[in-house]
Amino acid sequence: MNAAGRLTALSLLLLTAACAGGDKVLLLPPEPGAAPGSVAVLSDDGKTAAVIDTPNTEARLGGASVEARAVDPGAVQDRYGSLIDTLPAPPAVFVLYFREGTVTLTPESRPALDALLAEVGKRPGAEVQVTGHTDRVGHQAANDALSVARATEVASMLVAEGLDPALLVTAGRGEREPLVPTADGVREPRNRRVAITVR
């Protein structure tokens, strides 16, 4: 075999190795509006062995070391376009607001009900999570309970509007996730709300 022949054989060998079976991970660009993320390759004891944090880079797994390499976006589309397109749509979130310390909706929140019912109709296999929130007046335990009460109130309202109860789950986040961050004990109407996630 001459030098050129050996080189070709070597290239083929490398090419075969690159296409052979095994595990790999490819980081995709984040969804529009989402923060960029990363994937860590962990050792058996949970320590970080490598981090892949550049979109459109790929790493073969299971070897002695992890080396990420760039993949052309066109090649990503060719290989995984259908897989990515099959991912479910991002959950849609609707927000309803309440009068202070009550489970009574503000009048402005009524139209959002219609919008979310329409969204449920558009999604095959939809489910609806109703999550209550409070402002930071009162103790955390009381606010946890109040947030659940608000969620339960909205859930029964949705059932009255014709939503199948089997699609509904309720949750309360208390004062943990304020829309507008405030000090403890501060009245804030925008934080007295129920978020409805349509998945």
Partner 1 sequence: MTGRVVAALLAAILLAAAPASAADIGRVKRATGDAAVLRAGKKLPAKPGLVIQNADVLMTGPGGRIAVTFIDNSRFSAGPDSQVSLDTFTFNSTTHDGAFVSRVEKGSLAIISGQIAKKTPDAMKIRTPTSILGVRGTRFVVEVAP
**What is the token pair recorded at 199?**
């998945």
| Three-state SS sequence of 124-179 | CCCCEEEEECCCCCCCHHHHHHHHHHHHHHHHHHHHHCCCCHHHEEEEECCCCCCC
Which of 1, 3, 18, 35 is in the footprint of partner 1 by CB under 8 A?
35
Which of 2, 16, 65, 86 is in the footprint of partner 1 by CB under 8 A?
86
Least distance in angstroms from the C-beta of 164 to partner 1? 10
- Measured from the Cβ of residue 182, the count of other Cβ atoms closer than 10 Å reads 16
Distances (CA, A) of 140 to 85, 111, 144, 185: 42, 30, 6, 10
Q: Which stretch binds partner 1 (CB under 8 A): 1-9, 10-18, 27-35, 111-119?
A: 27-35
Rule CB under 8 A: say whether 150 interacts with partner 1.
yes
Rule CB under 8 A: say whether 121 interacts with partner 1.
no
The torsion angle over the Cα atoms of residues 52, 56, 59 and 60, rounded to 10 degrees, is: 150
With a CB cutoff of 8 Å and minimum separation 6, the contacts of 54 are: 27, 68, 70
Rule CB under 8 A: say whether 191 interacts with partner 1.
no
Which of 123, 157, 179, 189 is in the footprint of partner 1 by CB under 8 A?
123
Q: Which is nearer to partner 1, 9 or 184 (CB)?
A: 184
Q: Which is nearer to partner 1, 139 or 190 (CB)?
A: 139
Contacts with partner 1, residue ranges (CB under 8 A): 20-31, 34-44, 46, 48, 51-52, 61-62, 80, 82-84, 86-91, 101-103, 123-127, 129, 131, 137-138, 142, 144-150, 152, 169, 171-174, 176, 197, 199
